[in-house]
Amino acid sequence: MAETETPQIYLISPPDFDLSDFPSTLAALLDAQEIACVRLALATRDEDRICRAADALREVTHARDVALVIDTHFVLADRLGLDGVHLVDGARSVRKARKALGPDAIVGSFCAASRHEGINAGEAGCDYIAFGPIGATALAGGETAQDELFQWWSEMIELPVVAEGALDLAAIERLAPITDFFGLGAEIWDAEDPRAALAQLTAPLG
């Protein structure tokens, strides 16, 4: 995942999806718009289900030269031929994941709204840091990643940063000059037409 002037889009899968139709929905999105990376972020801990989903999405993403990473399960990332892992525990698992996956794999880390955790994860060997949520959500215990965090990061730290969680058009317009990637998931999958929702949210980046 390379740093660029205009923020790139990083798609986050729904926590559950139907393997009979989601891969084709994803394929249509990837064909319609340039996407930097896709994250498989299933809520289940069922290894068979995760593996089948990863196989299906890998066919779609790799045919289009789009990176596919998996939430948390870095052992599966290597076994399934994925491009890397997205960790959700800040800096804690970064060194272990990097050692398991090698220098060429993508290792990213979600650090909530903690500048300190982001710095530690970067020093441990991350390729990118994700901060969020940006908007209010019940899942985050009320804490949000403020614009000032992204402003500071963009000025002080070279490591690419992802803004994710409860994004809306106004947030994307505000953060576009100070973030490298926008992580979009529920914002588009919950819409009746995910492709139209994605186009609308990313219009400020065009």
Q: Report which DSSP code applies to 12.
A: E
- Across residues 11-29, what is the average pLDDT? 97
Determine the Cα angle at 130 with ends 105 and 17, to 5°: 80
pTM for the whole structure: 0.96
Q: Report which DSSP code applies to 106.
A: E
Please provide the CATH number assigned to the domain covering 8-201: 3.20.20.70
Q: What is the full DSSP assignment across 63-93? A: HTT-EEEEES-HHHHHHTT-SEEEESSTTTT
Query: Is pLDDT above 60 for 70?
Result: yes
Query: Is pLDDT above 80 for 1?
Result: no
What does the domain layout of the chain look like in residue ranges?
8-201
- Across residues 74-88, what is the average pLDDT? 96
pLDDT in tens, 94-120: 999 999 999 999 999 999 999 999 999
Q: How far is CA 79 from CA 1, 11, 51, 100, 191, in A?
A: 21, 22, 9, 11, 33
pLDDT recorded at residue 141? 63
Q: Which amino acid does the sequence have at 92?
A: R
Instruction: Give the residue among 96, 88, 92, 132 at the shortest CA–CA distance from 114.
Output: 132
pLDDT in tens, 23-54: 999 999 999 999 999 999 999 999 999 999 99
